[in-house]
Amino acid sequence: MEKHHTKDCHSHNHGHGHSHGHSHDHENELDPMVARVRALETILTDKGLIDPAAIDAIVETYETKIGPRNGARVVAKSWADPDFRAWLEKDATAAIASLGYSGRQAEHMQALFNTETTHNVVVCTLCSCYPWAVLGLPPVWYKSPPYRSRVVVEPRKVLSEFGLELADDVEIKVWDSTAEVRYLVIPMRPQGTDGMSEEELVDLVNRNSMIGTDIAHLPAPVTSHKGDAS
């Protein structure tokens, strides 16, 4: 079972009973600011003033490491602290701000808690609304027209393409971010982590699990190599 959730500020229609009031025809065009940035990058690259590979490395760091680390701390604290979890359910904006994560793109946050029977996934069908304060820069695929349109229509198939296979009896809820609200998925805590500290739990949370295209994972076991000292 799949459900699509959106706010009143914009509604959608993908031919499956949901009313949507905007077209995706413009999505293949570059945003004016993006176009200017790319033009500037090209000029600076041609002059030898910047190294595109270095820029890509910095962007990758903020996309996958520094930014998402904030959200991972929110998730880990919700796993370890029942009072914080209750606060997060009641007022996610205030709970997240108490950890120092606030500002633009995080003014109105809502936490979505995965359970054994419900899995949440987030999209922005209108543009690319994203909780920068807790997840850093949005990944390219999150902003892409295929993801933005398909995850609403066929979420189970899209998740399988990310490598996430959910049981048929797990309900998938698709949440549409807007300028008024941003979502943070709280993945289920992996089994076998009862003795782990909050900081250790942070390392189990990845960016995609907080968007809903993955789950939190236990670290892969370290395999010993023949010849290692015992």
Task: Tell me what the pLDDT averaged over the chain comes to.
Answer: 83
* pTM given for the model: 0.73
Q: Which of 42-56, 131-145, 204-218 has the highest mean pLDDT?
A: 204-218
Q: Report pLDDT for 73.
A: 97
- Taking the CA atoms of 59, 63, 64 and 65 in sequence, report the sign of the dihedral they define: positive
Catalytic annotation, pick one of 129, 144, 160, 177: 129
Residue found under tokens 């295929």: 146
Active site residue 9: no
**Domain 2-9+69-210 coded CATH 3.90.330.10:** yes
Spatial separation of the C-alpha atoms in residues 169 and 180, rounded to whole Å: 31
Catalytic annotation, pick one of 11, 98, 102, 127: 127
Residue 142 has pLDDT above 50, yes or no: yes
Residue 149 has pLDDT above 80, yes or no: yes
Active site residue 129: yes
- Taking the CA atoms of 173, 179, 183 and 184 in sequence, report the sign of the dihedral they define: positive
Residue 15 has pLDDT above 50, yes or no: no
- Pairing mode of beta strands 109-113, 182-186: parallel
Active site residue 124: yes
DSSP strands (E only) in the chain? 2-5, 109-113, 118-123, 171-176, 182-186
Catalytic annotation, pick one of 78, 124, 177, 209: 124
Mean pLDDT along residues 99-124: 91
Catalytic annotation, pick one of 11, 98, 102, 128: 128
